[in-house]
Structure 1
């Protein structure tokens, strides 16, 4: 049986740069639209307009049964929230997941935003801490990809970072187990799976040509989740807040490049002493 290789050629890696940039631009637009009083549909529309203006199409809309450019998850919702009439309120923690397909290649990325609220500074601080911990664990995984030998070590690096930086209020961060990162290329979701925690399986070899969507999904409480009645939205069982950060990342012969970061990942990787290099 023929099985497509999970490793891309240098030309294929170069072709993935533009969809990555378009995906990043869609999240910039989404972030600019997030404010108290805006609906999640407003935020989705801003991202969608950017994707279309750049000559791309939403790869989320290519998923059967899904009709939006983004997933937008608020507060106890962690991932796969459907944009609609929900009005954002001061203090909300909002995770936006977006993607674009351009000339047959895909980008996929997510960021978490906090709606400003000058009245509830303690809640804002807790939610900012959750988002920051999730984002930094993602960068720990990306940095690991630059040097490890197998994909399982990426998940271990994510979990180790979260364990080493627990919530200031005590307890532990929850790491979603049922939802994981993935390969990306001609399709938005490809093999292999990228777990956000330690597993006994070392996973596929990490070598030039590998492109992964690294995306920790972290909660401020229990990792247990449920699927809402819309059959899409994933929320925490205990009502604790969730955060989701994601980048599509390419490893090539000369180094690593974060396809969905406007700077290729330079700022995020600097604390690990890594300078990203675009595929030649």
Structure 2
């Protein structure tokens, strides 16, 4: 699949879709508390997308080759789940950490973003992993500019994560996005500088590092979607959709309550 360079109209449509995806996370934030199930969080998000936004939840019935259809509107990954956690009967308790991953379709264009949440007061270890992962994402974003390389993004993320004693998940990566959910380029969250595809203005892709407190190895559950850490260590992930501009980058997945970049960014 070739990399698509978006024109001004397509970039405008992507700004809308990405803002709407981020607004789903704004909406759901007050509901993330002890006693609620991940299935109820998914139901609330789904209803908000369909009724309030008139968007389509992209994950629902999504079926890549070799996978069963994904059964829910969101991915909610709790504690040692790295990604693609299927919302269901699990009830959140104080201290849990979770990633809520939202992708909406608006007028044929996809917006994709995720955030981390802690239920109540998390442990120092949990808060540190989430903060370092947030910083990793922003260090990756900071590499984005016309003429830079995909490897620059991965190298910045990997170097920082490993310096903090954490590991980078290898099997899953960021991706190009537009009128297709997943397209080229693949954005690895590890790598070497000045390697891989050269970035051009008009490219749009996600940066979504998955960082584990323990080793990077993962295992896939029998549902064939849910991916957990093999050593049962905590995992965290943040995701933004980013546009390469003539002068640098623009983060598209922003809304009223989007977290600001870290102070050291």
Compute the TM-score of the two structures, normalised by the length of structure 2.
0.91
Q: Take 1:270 and 1:126, find their aligned partners in 2: how far apart are those partners?
A: 20
Q: Residue 271 of structure 1: CA displacement?
A: 4.0
Aligned counterparts, 1:115-126, within 5 A: 115-117=119-121, 124-126=123-125
* Structure 2 unpaired stretches of 5+: 64-68
RMSD (Å), alpha carbons? 2.1
Q: Take 2:83 and 2:199, find their aligned partners in 1: how far apart are those partners?
A: 27
- 1:174-224 alpha-carbon deviations (Å, 9 max, x no partner): 110011111111111111110000158822221210101100001100111
Q: Take 2:83 and 2:36, find their aligned partners in 1: how far apart are those partners?
A: 19
- 1:124-143 alpha-carbon deviations (Å, 9 max, x no partner): 11101001110110011111
- 1:240-277 alpha-carbon deviations (Å, 9 max, x no partner): 001011000112235421111226989317743xxxxx
Aligned counterparts, 1:1-280, within 5 A: 4-52=2-50, 53-64=52-63, 65-117=69-121, 124-146=123-145, 149-164=148-163, 166=164, 172-199=165-192, 202-262=195-255, 267-268=260-261, 271-272=264-265
Q: Take 1:271 and 1:252, find their aligned partners in 2: how far apart are those partners?
A: 22
Compute the TM-score of the two structures, normalised by the length of structure 1.
0.86
Which residue is 1:277 aligned to? none
* Structure 1 unpaired stretches of 5+: 118-122, 167-171, 273-280
- Aligned length, in residue pairs: 259
Q: Take 1:266 and 1:116, find their aligned partners in 2: how far apart are those partners?
A: 18
